[in-house]
Amino acid sequence: MIITLLSDFGFKDNFLAVAKAILLEQLPDARMIDINHEVEPFHLLQCSYQWVSAYGSFPPRTIHLSLFDIMQQRPATLLVAAVGNQYFISADNGLLPLSFKDQEMQVKTMGHTASSYGEWIAMAAGVIRQLQQSDFDLSGFPDASPKVFPLQLQPVVKEHYVECQVIHIDRYENVVLNITRSEFDLLRKGRKFRISFMRNESVTKISHHYADVAQGEKLCLFNSAGFLEIAINRGNAASLLGFRLHDDTQLIYQHIKIEFL
């Protein structure tokens, strides 16, 4: 049985090791695979992107366990959801409805609450064990609906342009925007486009690979998850082009404008 783990725990403290110890106590044969533990603390949008862009690579009946912002509500509840042939476990913190807003999702609950993150993780281990023993039959769990629904961060669409936000900056400082290939094509309608940056620089075509441009040159491409990405071949796009991760607590938002010509 494969269990993926996703969190904002980081590696500076022992939270992740403790979480794995709790899981292994009940699930000694589990194969645990880390998706990411360096999600920006409490950054729901980035966490959702990490989940959505990763789960499709795993085999059927993989269990995807989010340890992100477990105690967003106190006491914390646990939701388990089936999306296709994949299974997702999360606290009721908005992650499930944000990640799978356009997909059919069967949602259940444990029926209990937890007063600490360790208690919640132990509860999640019990859910996983029950899923395994029941051959992934969710009928034994009470029906549930998420109670936390975050605001959907959507591109701002106008007739001749769209404004996007940064939802992830990876290790190489490639910048991921909140627009997919299908959304881009629908809005573009076959028109030329221009993405403008600082110093009057811009990108006017979609590349297929980073190496499509010379080293140090900027480019745009759709990444493996299908999201539009701004990059510099063997360079640091976020730093050099002045991009930062979207933060909805800031009074002034940073938009990336795509003009259709």
**Per-residue confidence band for 247, with pLDDT thresholds at 50, 70 and 90:** confident
Residue 138 region, left (φ>0) first, then alpha (ψ -120 to 50), else beta? alpha
In this predicted structure, the answer to whether residue 33 has a pLDDT above a threshold of 80 is yes
The arithmetic mean of pLDDT across residues 196-223, rounded, is: 90
Measured CA angle at 231 (ends 229, 237), to 5 deg = 120
- 33 & 105 share domain: yes
Residue 149 lies in a domain: no
- The CATH number for 187's domain is 2.40.30.90
| C-alpha atoms less than 13 angstroms from C-alpha of 238 in its C-beta half-sphere | 16
- 81 & 110 share domain: yes
User: Residue 90 has what pLDDT?
Assistant: 96
How do strand 193-196 and strand 202-203 relate by DSSP bridges?
antiparallel
Element (H, E) at 34: strand 31-36
- Residue 112 or residue 67, greater confidence: 67
Q: What is the number of structural domains in the chain? A: 2
**161 in Cβ contact with 257 (< 8 Å):** yes
Beta strand segments in 122-245, E: 156-157, 161-164, 166-169, 175-180, 193-196, 202-203, 206-207, 218-222, 227-232
- 99 & 162 share domain: no
- 14 & 91 share domain: yes
Residue 147 lies in a domain: no
In this predicted structure, the answer to whether residue 251 has a pLDDT above a threshold of 60 is no
Q: Give the tens place of pLDDT for each residue, 145-171.
A: 888 776 666 788 888 999 998 999 999
- 129 & 33 share domain: yes
User: Residue 246 has what pLDDT?
Assistant: 82
Q: How many CB atoms lie within 10 A of CB 115?
A: 11
Nearest Cα to Cα of residue 174 among 220, 128, 137:
220
What is the C-alpha separation between 68 and 91, in angstroms, rounded?
Answer: 8
What is the C-alpha separation between 50 and 45, in angstroms, rounded?
Answer: 9
The amino acid at 115: S
What is the C-alpha separation between 175 and 167, in angstroms, rounded?
Answer: 8
Residue 12 lies in a domain: yes
Domain that holds residue 76: 2-140
User: Residue 209 has what pLDDT?
Assistant: 94
In this predicted structure, the answer to whether residue 92 has a pLDDT above a threshold of 90 is yes
Beta bridge partners of 206: 220
How do strand 2-6 and strand 31-36 relate by DSSP bridges?
parallel
Identify the three-state secondary structure at position 177: strand
- 119 & 192 share domain: no
